[in-house]
A and B are shown apart, each in its own frame.
Chain A
Amino acid sequence: MAQQVKIPTVGESITEVTIANWLKNDGDQVKMDEVIAELESDKATFELTAPQAGILKIAKQKGETVPIGAVICEITDLAQGAITPAVAQPKPAPAPSPSKSSNGQSKTGGIKEMKVPPVGESITEVTISTWLKKEGDFVTLDEVIAEVESDKATFELPAEASGILRIVAQEKTTLPIGGLICKIEIAEGAPAKAPAASPAVGDGTPASTGSSSYAAGYPSPAAAKILDEKSIPTTAVPGSGVGGRITKDDAVKAQATTGKPSETKPVQTAPVISTGGVRNVRREKMTSLRKTIAKRLVAVKNETAMLTTFNEVDMKPVMDLRSHYKDKFKEKYGVGLGFMSFFTKAICEALKEFPAVNGSIEGEELVYHDYCDISIAVSTPRGLVVPVIRNAELLSMAQIESEVARLAGKGRDGKLSIEEMTGGTFSITNGGVFGSMMSTPIINPPQSAILGMHNIVERPVVRNGEVVVRPIMYVAMSYDHRIIDGRESVSFLVRVKEMLEDPGRMILGI
């Protein structure tokens, strides 16, 4: 029996995933529960296992974005292994004549909803000025299908998928950012581009031009070199050449898979000279994670009234305390005593006093949280992830440290679950680890505030009328002025500062 494998439901609010990598090739024999593909949502990467043993027939290629529930492959069990290769072809035999247009397309089931993209700061709505394609037309990916105008400019709207256009918003309709413009019934192969009929089968020779040819995935000489330089295995690149061969263009456009650093490793053995003056430009497709980061960061800028307040913290008391007790702490709890626990603790105390900083706006309501779920920004090879320390206000210093270590480690390994990254009522980001002196962090929505830590630098400061040298950290808090007033934000940061400069206050609650 052939079993269809569908994209499983992977988490609330996730509607689509991108196929990051096929670990098995079309036609491979797979075992039950064997990992066959890596899927990537905007929040996490996860693995897809085979529900039964059999022969894999891939329906969606690497890089395609597919909705939850869509069929991405079929597994034909081995009892039916006798099926001839002709039947196992991934695509049905194309219609012999291109004139039968409808037969040239194969619907792949998915529907792409196209929404108004964020087009710029302060633009909240756009008007559909002209449809360049008609209802029911076949559109191809990136083809311009409509002209849209905002109060500032007119721009072109490219199709986000190939398929049949279903118009939702008629011309002259005004839509908010995010409003539904049209749907595209995802289908493959434009009518006019229906592949030609396979050549004379009469000879009894195997058709060598089929898409599952023995040469599928075989790189051209130039492609092989390029892929090797990018450290991309040929199995990770869908070949667009005859019989699935990997062309130079495929290799040029291929991007490294997730999980590993995506940058190509430049020069390993090169002597340090650069008179060659290479001026290459590389283009890589954005990962879902990067797209989400980009979209959300711009949205925050657009949709909140964000500003930043600064202060400086004399870190000497914390550093003294830490150097005094760090060995004992480590001995007792098995984790190092870092600055993160002090900051988290101080922030939780301050949040209790200024609940708006711990709140958020939902529609027309203000939401206050009686708990402190602190999001910690962790830089990973794939990009920024923000795991959450739950009920941080109840945790001991040691518990906070071990939780930070656990989450950061999982983050770096790309193993964080979506659960571990959702929620969060306040964020901490530490640009200091990279040497940042001062920055204005961006709020992590729907939260209303984020605190930025920076590097600790010895600076001359005045204490009791005398200039002394102290380890100083500048701190910054960006906040949404819609919910947090200036008085609250500044007082909050001052409270954090006071507690860090005199940690005893945290115990006493003063």
Chain B
Amino acid sequence: MEYNVTVIGSGPGGYVAAIRCAQLGFKTAIVEKYASLGGTCLNVGCIPSKALLDSTEHFHNAGHTFKEHGIELSGLKVNFGQMIKRKGDVVKSNVDGIAFLMKKNKIDVHNGLGSFVDKNTIKITGKDGKEKTITSDYVIIATGSKPTPLPFAPFDKKRIISSTESLELKEIPNHLIVVGGGVIGMELGSVFARIGSKVSVVEFLDNLIPTMDGTLGKELQKSTKKLGMDFYLGHKVTALTSNGQEVTLTAEDKSGKKLELKGDYCLVSIGRRPYSDGLGLDKVGIELDHGRVPVDDHLKTNVDNIYAIGDVVRGAMLAHKAEEEGVMVAEELAGQKPHINYLLIPGVVYTWPEVASVGYTEEQLKANGKVYKVGTFPYKALGRARASMDTDGLVKILADKSTDEILGVHIIGARAADMIAAGVTAMEFRASAEDVARMSHAHPTYMEAVKEACLAATANRSIHS
């Protein structure tokens, strides 16, 4: 065999798997269909959306909070082309970084569509139609996911768009209709709301970011309403059409009451589907399960030498989950026995305020019949938050009523995305709320809210509320 391990797909799951394989001494190849490495995350996902979120948040602050800070500006306006260009530069530098890492770790990069010929042979078809084959002892499928369209309204990529197109718009929409109030819809909705678009979010369920703790969705709705976003929760979209200039959406609520919205763009962000098209899974006898590649607890498929990780398998579609799985498979192949605690993969929404969460939600604990206690602490009671004027948000700690063990950490507020790592650490070590409450937290920081919420959970004795 030419390679010990071949990874198909170079997203955060795939490239991390490849690097870990190389570190462990495997001769490793990576196959990527697109011209640039990094997959959805780097090219059309996490990184570019964060670039635009940061740019637009600066603009929003310049227009709304600078004056209060004593900074006066005149003639403030958005140079949307520059925003998109800077985003492109950020993507490029990240992608180049991955290319460098592949080189540094002596990983062979094969550009082209990878597909199985048999379980040890991969055919790579280049953009120019040229084919070559490579052989490999092990193969890791890391082909990721694609946005899901509405069944009755496919993406036309001009007016009815997915997250991918929304990052490349040539103009700021006047009225952006967002179908789906999940992570992607709320992030991209915020981007355009901050730079002047009217944004209407239509969500089938009764809560925004519905997979997260209910409190977070409610708080996020309050905060983003201030940006001028409109919400139509509990609405089922029944039709979506475009005439090339204008999109028309119709929906109805549970009572059957009709809603019609007209806008110039409609972002459909109702979820993503696992992507394995053209991979030739039939050649090796892997059958998809609801579109996913079925794997066992060790991420092995039903074929002995083929593994799969990331969005294409079960579990949350998150870059950091895929990365952990990439490391896990590489170490499994080296005979190690790594673990992933899927409960403790944090979920984050990069709106402002940010939303971040780990462990069980209150809804899950209720459903499980768990006896728990809740401690919350609002950002507005934090000195640090008042200083920065980021007073929206709260920390909510869920703990076992009898043992005080922390069962869930839910944060909405400034820098929640970074703070959640402390929640993961505490929970990985099965800390109790009192354990965290007894650890010194630097003052003044946003993290004090976590300590205070833990004090509240311990015995309702937070100091500053």
Residues of A within 8 A of B (CB): 199, 203-206, 208-209, 213-215, 218, 220-221, 224-225, 228-229, 241-242, 245, 266-271, 273-277
Contact = CB atoms under 8 A, between A and B. Distances in A.
B: interface residue count bin: 20 to 34
A267 B335 contact: yes
A228 B297 CA distance: 14
B429 A268 contact: no
Contact of B25 (A206, A245, A274): A274
Contact of B458 (A205, A225, A245): A205
A216 to B, nearest CB: 10
**Which of A203, A267, A271 neighbours the largest number of chain B CB atoms within 10 Å of its CB?**
A271
B137 interface: yes
A206 B404 contact: yes
Chief secondary structure at chain A's binding surface: loop
A480 B25 CA distance: 53
Nearest to A274: B25
Given A205-B434, A270-B334, 6 more contacts: A199-B438, A205-B459, A215-B429, A218-B430, A245-B429, A270-B333
A203 B373 CA distance: 14
Nearest to B304: A269
Given A225-B338, A229-B337, A275-B25, A203 B403 contact: no
Given A199-B434, A270-B334, A206 B428 contact: no
A26 to B, nearest CB: 16
15 contacts: A199-B438, A203-B458, A203-B459, A204-B459, A205-B458, A208-B403, A209-B435, A215-B429, A220-B428, A221-B341, A224-B339, A225-B337, A229-B337, A271-B137, A276-B334
B132 interface: no
Name the 4 nearest CB pairs between A and B, nearest first.
A276-B25, A267-B335, A208-B432, A203-B459
A479 B25 CA distance: 51
Contacts of B24: 276
Contact of B402 (A206, A269, A273): A206
Contacts, number: 74
B327 to A, nearest CB: 11
A446 B339 CA distance: 51
B138 interface: yes
B435 A245 contact: no
**Which of B332, B335, B341 neighbours the largest number of chain A CB atoms within 10 Å of its CB?**
B335
Contacts of A218: 429-430
B58 interface: no
A213 B430 CA distance: 10
Contacts of A267: 334-335
B336 interface: yes
Contacts of B430: 214-215, 218, 245
A274 B26 CA distance: 8
Contact of B333 (A214, A229, A271): A271
Contact of A268 (B335, B402, B432): B335
Given A208-B403, A220-B429, A273 B4 contact: yes
A240 to B, nearest CB: 14
Given A218-B430, A220-B429, A275-B25, A270 B435 contact: no
A225 B339 CA distance: 6
